[in-house]
Structure 1
Amino acid sequence: MRHEVGGRAGLDNAGDFRRDELAEAKKQIGSLLNKLESSLKTLMSKDDPSRYKSQDALTKRRIEALRIARRLIEREMG
């Protein structure tokens, strides 16, 4: 199945992405991870962190998903 990626048509197979595209994706994932980890620290430091349980759980799940994505990109890059 074809889809549009960064202004170009690509295939669903990760092997069809250029190395520079994978490197940029890894960089962007790293940036998102830093922001989410910072956000998580802020949530945990609130006066009543239990008020933010759902946000905390969602942020943790997103962090884990992005870590998996980064590892898969690293594996694909070799």
Structure 2
Amino acid sequence: MDMHWTIYLQRDGADENVPLARFQRPLEGATPADSGLSMSEARSLLSSLQQVVAQGQIRAYDCLRRPKIQPHVGIAPTEN
């Protein structure tokens, strides 16, 4: 039998949970080395976290900087 963990990230105010990592550890026959995260698992988790956070920041920055296209209200098309 194993213990399973799935780590999700949720930005404040957002409904979406983004899965970052999934880990499992044995219960029977476990050794001290089975406790916590391995260095490679920790690096992978940090890399996933960095990617999701950076993408969110870039999208938010892009939305603020992108010019808003305003519809032409009340202007009749001209004929040439």
Q: TM-score range by the shorter chain?
A: 0.3 to 0.5
- Which has a greater percent of helix? 1
TM-score normalised according to structure 2 size? 0.41
Larger RCO, structures 1/2 (Cα 8 Å, 6+ apart): 1
Q: Kindly name which structure, 1 or 2, has the bigger radius of gyration based on alpha carbons.
A: 2
